[in-house]
């Protein structure tokens, strides 16, 4: 069966510090991978998605970046965190059924980031 791992679960970082959140998927090949952010009491904002190694699509301009160095690994990074980067970060994967069709998305347990 497929599983998704995301870590760390919680993180407190000072303003201006770097960030690296990692997400890995097991039990599937060539998944579509996603990073979402959810501010307190708000909806999910799509940050990045990837359909393959080295292929990253960015949805919003910001000081975050994403990389996919391996098929089942997705990394969210920042060189200098801002207070506004605080939020609940969720990694997700979905399967490709071909012809632009996809399975539903499955989420990691999330990282609660507080920038102080």
CB 108 → another protein: shortest distance, Å? Answer: 7
Residue span binding another protein (CB under 8 A) among the ranges 13-21, 63-71, 79-87, 103-111: 103-111
Please report whether residue 3 would count as binding another protein according to CB under 8 A.
Answer: no
Out of 23, 24, 34, 78, the only residue in the binding site for another protein (CB under 8 A) is: 34
**Closer of 43 and 69 to another protein (Cβ):** 43
Separation CA 43–CA 19 (nearest Å): 22
Question: H or E stretch including 107?
Answer: strand 101-107
Out of 46, 53, 71, 73, the only residue in the binding site for another protein (CB under 8 A) is: 46
* Residue with token string 């997700």: 92
Percentages (nearest 5) of helix, strand, coil residues in the chain = 5, 65, 35
């Amino acid at each position: 069966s497929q599983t998704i791992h995301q870590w760390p679960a919680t993180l407190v970082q000072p303003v201006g510090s770097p960030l690296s959140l990692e997400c890995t998927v097991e039990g599937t090949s060539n998944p579509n991978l996603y990073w979402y952010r959810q501010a307190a009491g708000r909806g999910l904002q799509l940050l990045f998605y990837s359909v393959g190694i080295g292929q990253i699509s960015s949805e919003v301009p910001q000081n975050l970046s994403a990389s996919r160095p391996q098929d089942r690994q997705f990394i969210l990074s920042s060189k200098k965190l801002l207070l506004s980067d605080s939020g609940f970060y969720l990694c997700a994967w979905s399967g490709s059924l071909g012809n632009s069709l996809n399975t539903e998305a499955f989420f990691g347990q999330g990282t609660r980031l507080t920038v102080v």
